[in-house]
Amino acid sequence: MRLALHNLKTRFWPLIKSLQTTLLLATGMAGYLSASSEPIRWLTFLGLSCSLFLAISGSTVLNMWYDRDIDAQMKRTCNRPLPASLVTPNEVLRLGIGLSVLGVAWATLLSPLYGLVVFSGLFLDVLVYTIWLKRRSAWSIVLGGLSGGMPILAGRALGTGQVEWIGLLLALAVLFWIPTHTLTFNMRFLEDYQAAGVPTFPSIYGFDITRKIIAVSSLLAALAMVGACVWIGITAGALRLMAVLSAGLLLLALTTWMRPSEKVNYGLFKYASLFMLSSMLVLAFMTL
């Protein structure tokens, strides 16, 4: 039993990128909770949590399978289970397909519309972003952003029974947030991406333009998030907290543009994740 748990922890658990998966799962859960005007249907909420976890994990595992050659060339990723030969490509492919199918099937049983949105996110992430665009264009992050916005849109769709404007605005907030998160990471590990031949904004357009894009995307993410919260009707206290979180994101984005440094850039990367997670907590708990 102990050996099985050890194998799971060292060989398979890293394949799902647990921190990234947890953050995306949190957006879906918050989307559902923000849509609930009646007592929470906890069995439905549990089904959403499990189906989203499976679908997000499945897409991440499939991405790991397809990008194993890139990961082997990058110092940051060369010790992941696949390039380190802790698992075989066939094992990872079967796991990714199995998790994805289970996640989408469960989602569809809960609601065909919800299942369609979940499948759309998986399709955009694996086939469009990873397989088609990631190695061809720095603009692939736009499609990656669209897939990143699908969990919160799916949660709203399950809660309301439709794809409505608040859900779309929340998805846009995630879409605009992703360049802030991703491009700061691209700048920090630029040599790794260049070694693997992956085009990024810093390598194609330079750091100065990339920082300006980060500042603009941070502004749009903050405006979309605050706008959605106002539309939903969260409490005044929660709205003030959201405004403070957004101001922090904007301040760091402007600082990394006006007074660039590795320290500020990394600080913005870390704060971007904190901003999104905190925003989801505010959205979830202040609308209950």
Q: Are residues 186 and 94 in the same domain?
A: no
Which of 104, 133, 159 terminates a domain? The answer is: 159
How many Å apart are CA 67 and CA 62, to the nearest integer? Answer: 9
Q: Are residues 123 and 225 in the same domain?
A: no
Q: Are residues 200 and 275 in the same domain?
A: yes
Write phi, then psi, for 82 (nearest 5 degrees). -70, -55
Contacts with 274 (C-beta within 8 Å, 6 or more apart), sequence order: none
Q: Are residues 191 and 244 in the same domain?
A: yes
Torsion of CA 238, 241, 246, 247, to 10 degrees: 150
Q: Are residues 49 and 117 in the same domain?
A: yes
Q: Are residues 149 and 175 in the same domain?
A: no
Q: Are residues 234 and 250 in the same domain?
A: yes
Our count of domains for the chain comes to 2
Quote the pLDDT of residue 245.
Answer: 93
Quote the pLDDT of residue 2.
Answer: 61
Q: Are residues 33 and 97 in the same domain?
A: yes
Q: Are residues 114 and 250 in the same domain?
A: no
Quote the pLDDT of residue 261.
Answer: 86
Q: Are residues 193 and 150 in the same domain?
A: no
Q: Are residues 99 and 179 in the same domain?
A: no
Q: Are residues 147 and 120 in the same domain?
A: yes
Two tokens at 244?
């403070």
Residue-by-residue pLDDT tens, the chain, 288 positions: 565 565 666 788 899 999 999 999 999 999 999 986 667 788 999 999 999 999 999 999 999 999 999 999 999 999 999 999 999 999 999 999 999 999 999 999 999 999 999 999 999 999 999 999 999 999 998 878 899 999 999 999 999 999 999 999 999 999 999 988 899 989 999 999 999 999 999 999 999 999 999 999 999 999 999 999 999 988 888 889 999 999 999 999 999 888 888 888 888 889 999 999 999 999 888 766
Which of 159, 187, 219 terminates a domain? The answer is: 159
Which of 110, 134, 159 terminates a domain? The answer is: 159
How many Å apart are CA 41 and CA 127, to the nearest integer? Answer: 33
Q: Could you write out the DSSP letters of every residue in the chain?
A: -HHHHHHIIIIIGGGG-HHHHHHHHHHHHHHHHHT--SS--HHHHHHHHHHHHHHHHHHHHHHHHHTHHHHHH-TTTTTSTTTTTSS-HHHHHHHHHHHHHHHHHHHHHH-HHHHHHHHHHHHIIIIIIIIIITTT-TTHHHHHHHHHHHHHHHHHHHHHSS--HHHHHHHHHHHHHHHHHHHHHHHHTHHHHHHHT---HHHHH-HHHHHHHHHHHHHHHHHHHHHHHHHHT--HHHHHHHHHHHHHHHHHHHHHHHS--HHHHHHHHHHHHHHHHHHHHHHHHT--
Residue 150 belongs to a domain with what CATH number?
A: 1.10.357.140
How many Å apart are CA 95 and CA 83, to the nearest integer? Answer: 16
Quote the pLDDT of residue 127.
Answer: 94
Quote the pLDDT of residue 37.
Answer: 64
**Closest C-alpha among 24, 274, 37 to residue 161:** 37
Residue 142 CA, distance from chain mean position: 12
Q: Amino acid letter at 236?
A: A
Q: Domain residues for 30?
A: 1-159
Residue 185 belongs to a domain with what CATH number?
A: 1.20.120
**155, 194, 232, 238, 287 from 284: Cα distances, Å:** 11, 39, 11, 11, 6
Two tokens at 72?
């082997």
How many Å apart are CA 40 and CA 252, to the nearest integer? Answer: 36
Quote the pLDDT of residue 265.
Answer: 86
